């Protein structure tokens, strides 16, 4: 019965193939079998998707699964279940685990766990440098042979510009992008939030926007000098967006991503809405939530394609990592299970076009890392090839309730917020893998 599913009457948005219309989708024998305006499928389980959006399974370029090494924050099993519920059926795992995948054998053992415990497809990202320490290059070719989809040192920007240029050249020769967290840590002293009006009012150390912009500018120049691809992780500033736009105008092979958190929230979330400042550690993220002007610039850049993809930077933490003084608390927001709802809320407010949102969650990220070549049908709905789809209900009124999440990370500044729109159901590998119940996400 679950082998044959008819998703009836939804608005099918498949940006990769230019499809946008009210259509039926038949899923059969593990694959999307047919997409037409009217499908009769006797005996199929019917999902009435009237009023809903039917999209390819989401592709996430930036997620933290925490295993091995930090299982109290999350495991491959818990975090990929969270991904599934959020509609993400293909995810790229950042290498900030312990051990970190900086050589073939470690990568192999982590990939084995991915195959064993993953509830969705997981693509490993390999380290740029050994131990992500920024001193010696990891053996990039061995990691490429082991199946990494990209290279990154995650939250540890490669400080040495020569090392960075060499890494770009070697990764480029392997046909793989390098995903870089662009920050200039020497420009601030461990800034815990955006440097600006809120940090000055609350007496917190700040990261200036200039620290991101300077690193983006440097890395664009190094990529140009190396003739290599560069993916800029989670851009957050208006000036960063301008630099990326200019690089794209020059024809450089630069791509970039933005997180739902930076599209939806600003630095004000740290102070909270009450009379006393909240010092909300669940709004502590690296790079930090920025100003409203930055947020608007990110939305505009996403709309016109300067920003290619939306990536979650899903970063689960244990409660004890966040129940601390603000500057001692861990960076990161658990994002998988609220991402679609916060983005659909932006769409409902008219701040984000629904079609563009779907594209930035599917075909665009698949293209950034060449995922569609690795996993046929990923990020699109191609009959006979694609296997995953997401049904979104843009009209659902939901409350964010992290206590019910699959993720071990309950660290979200959105807890208790009312959002408009939610994932309704997820088909993975041609099977109905999850359906939402109740008015919460």
Token pair recorded at residue 44? 């199929």
Q: How far is CA 422 from the centre of its chain?
A: 17
Q: Does 202 bind another protein (CB under 8 A)?
A: yes
**Smaller CB separation from another protein, 105 or 203:** 203
For another protein, which residue of 125, 198, 315, 352 counts as binding (CB under 8 A)? 198
Whether 234 has a binding-site annotation, put simply, is yes
Conformation bin of residue 78: beta by default, left when phi > 0, alpha when psi is -120 to 50:
alpha
For another protein, which residue of 246, 327, 351, 355 counts as binding (CB under 8 A)? 327
Candidate ranges 141-149, 233-241, 317-325, 391-399; the one touching another protein (CB under 8 A): 317-325
> ω into residue 194 within 30 of 0, thus cis?
no
Residues in contact with another protein, total (CB under 8 A)?
A: 23
For another protein, which residue of 186, 276, 304, 437 counts as binding (CB under 8 A)? 276
Candidate ranges 59-67, 125-133, 251-259, 274-282; the one touching another protein (CB under 8 A): 274-282
Q: Does 186 bind another protein (CB under 8 A)?
A: no
Q: Does 292 bind another protein (CB under 8 A)?
A: no
Candidate ranges 108-116, 158-166, 233-241, 273-281; the one touching another protein (CB under 8 A): 273-281
Q: What is the Cα gyration radius of the chain?
A: 21
Q: Does 277 bind another protein (CB under 8 A)?
A: yes
Token pair recorded at residue 300? 């505009």
Q: Within 13 A of 165's CA, how many CA atoms are on the CB side? A: 10
Which 8-state DSSP code applies to residue 330?
P
Query: How far apart are alpha carbons 346 and 241 in whole angstroms?
Result: 20
- Which is catalytic among the residues 313, 372, 388, 393? 313
Distances (CA, A) of 326 to 49, 172, 191, 264: 44, 39, 11, 21
Q: Does 279 bind another protein (CB under 8 A)?
A: yes
For another protein, which residue of 325, 350, 437, 438 counts as binding (CB under 8 A)? 325
**Among all chains, which residue has been given the structure tokens 């309950």?**
410
Note if 160 is an active site residue: no
For another protein, which residue of 114, 326, 336, 428 counts as binding (CB under 8 A)? 326
E strands in 269-369: 309-310
**Among all chains, which residue has been given the structure tokens 């900030």?**
96
Whether 181 has a binding-site annotation, put simply, is yes
Query: How far apart are alpha carbons 361 and 215 in whole angstroms?
Result: 25
**Smaller CB separation from another protein, 80 or 281:** 281
Residues recognised as catalytic = 313
Binding stretches for another protein (CB under 8 A): 189, 195-204, 275-279, 320, 323-328
């Amino acid at each position: 019965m679950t082998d044959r599913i008819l998703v009836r009457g939804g608005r099918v948005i498949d940006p990769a193939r230019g499809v946008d219309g009210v259509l039926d989708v038949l899923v059969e024998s593990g694959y999307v079998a047919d997409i037409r305006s009217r499908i009769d499928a006797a005996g199929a389980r019917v999902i009435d998707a009237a009023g809903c959006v039917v999209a390819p399974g989401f592709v996430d370029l930036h997620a933290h699964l925490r295993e091995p090494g930090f299982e109290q924050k999350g495991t491959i099993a818990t975090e990929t279940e969270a991904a599934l519920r959020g509609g993400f059926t293909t995810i790229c795992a950042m290498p900030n685990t312990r051990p970190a995948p900086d050589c073939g054998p470690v990568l192999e053992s982590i990939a084995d766990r991915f195959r064993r415990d993953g509830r969705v497809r997981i693509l490993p990202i390999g380290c740029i440098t050994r131990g992500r320490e920024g001193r010696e290059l990891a053996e990039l070719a061995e990691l490429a042979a082991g199946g990494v989809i990209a290279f990154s040192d995650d939250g540890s920007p490669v400080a040495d510009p020569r090392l960075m240029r060499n890494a770009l050249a070697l990764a480029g020769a392997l046909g793989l992008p390098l995903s870089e967290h662009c920050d200039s840590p020497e420009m601030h002293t461990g800034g815990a939030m955006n440097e600006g009006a809120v940090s000055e009012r609350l007496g917190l150390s700040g990261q200036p926007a200039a620290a991101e912009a300077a690193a983006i500018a440097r890395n664009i120049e190094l990529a140009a000098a190396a003739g290599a691809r560069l993916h800029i992780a989670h851009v957050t500033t208006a000036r960063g967006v301008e630099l990326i736009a200019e690089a794209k105008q020059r024809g450089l092979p630069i791509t970039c991503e933005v997180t739902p958190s930076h599209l939806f929230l600003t630095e004000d979330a740290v102070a909270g809405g009450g009379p006393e400042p909240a010092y909300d550690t669940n709004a502590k993220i690296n790079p930090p939530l920025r100003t409203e002007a930055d947020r608007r610039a990110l939305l505009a850049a996403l709309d016109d394609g300067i920003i290619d993809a939306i990536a979650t930077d899903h970063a689960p933490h244990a409660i004890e990592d966040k129940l601390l003084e603000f500057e001692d608390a861990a960076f990161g927001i658990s994002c998988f299970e609220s991402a679609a709802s916060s983005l659909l809320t932006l769409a409902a407010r008219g701040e984000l076009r629904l079609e563009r949102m779907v594209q930035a969650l599917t075909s665009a990220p698949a293209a950034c890392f060449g995922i569609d070549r690795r996993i046929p049908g990923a990020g699109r709905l191609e009959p006979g090839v694609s296997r995953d789809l997401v049904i979104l209900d843009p009209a659902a009124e939901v409350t964010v309730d992290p206590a019910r999440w699959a993720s071990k990370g309950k660290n979200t500044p959105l807890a208790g917020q009312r959002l408009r729109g939610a994932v309704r159901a997820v088909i993975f590998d041609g099977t109905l893998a999850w359906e939402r119940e109740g008015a919460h996400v």
